[in-house]
Amino acid sequence: MTDGQLADDLDADRLRTEMLAVLSHELNTPLAAIKGYLTAMLLEEVSWTAEKREEFLRLMLAEVENLQAMISSILDSARVEFDQMEIEPQPLRLPRLAREVTDEMQQRSSIHRFILDFPRDFPLVDADPRRIKQVLRNLLDNAVKYSPDGGLIVVRGAVRPDDVVVSIADQGVGISPEDLIPLFDKFFRAKSLAARRVAGVGLGLPVSRAIVEAHGGRIWAESALGEGTTLYFSLPREGLSTSMPAADPNNAEEQP
């Protein structure tokens, strides 16, 4: 074995050790919170009000959902690693899907305001609705996490000759130029004060990149420290959807 191969193996072992440490810590955090709430509820010397017990249950539900999201990201990352990411495209109305996801996110955050901005004649695209919904969730979740003080999050659609572009812009802490290049790498966390207290395993963006690229699109980011971040992804305009009518301008569900 050459010195270079030995160094590579040592780097790989170190990376695996670091990844296991990160995963163990992040997965244990919601479990510890759930255990804490359950322990408090079972204290015989304390008589909790119905309202307080309901609050504990809602907090535990949020932690369970957080844990499920992290496990899902880990599984999807493994599928990407072994080239098992399945894509089942069909004609898809992106404005409607974006509305569904932003409504979900609005239920989770009272300090953010979500705005949709799609042209009335936004075309259909051929894409896997389950996977693209996952991308939208990941990008919106990232926008929420890195704008801890709240603010606007704008989901915008643009139409180009060969593809469509969806962008998610927040008013958060922003990302430094040196962190933009590795932003979509596994386990990467942008160096910011917010990153130190953000839950997650750092797999949402790399999984989103794999999904978008499997559709023939691309994903990228623009940002500046203290000025928020805009994440973009594109999907090609081709296939069955090109011969079908665009969104009905009279359908209010598909309007911003």
All domains of the chain in start order, with CATH:
3-81 (1.10.287.130), 90-254 (3.30.565.10)
Residue 41 has pLDDT above 50, yes or no: yes
Sheet holding 163-169, edge to edge: 112-117, 151-159, 163-169, 229-236, 219-223
Per-residue pLDDT band for 72 (boundaries 50, 70, 90) equals: confident
Q: How far is CA 71 from CA 43, 76, 196, 208, in A?
A: 30, 9, 20, 15
Provide the pLDDT for residue 255.
41
Tokens of 106: 């609005």
Residue 248 has pLDDT above 60, yes or no: no
Residue 15 has pLDDT above 70, yes or no: no
Residues facing residue 222 across a β-bridge: 230
Residue 35 has pLDDT above 80, yes or no: yes
Give the predicted TM-score (pTM) of the model: 0.71
**If we measure between CA atoms, which residue out of 97, 135, 88 comes closest to residue 116?**
97
Quick: pLDDT tens for 222-243.
998 888 999 999 999 987 666 6
Per-residue pLDDT band for 10 (boundaries 50, 70, 90) equals: low
* Sign of torsion over alpha carbons 233, 237, 241, 244: positive
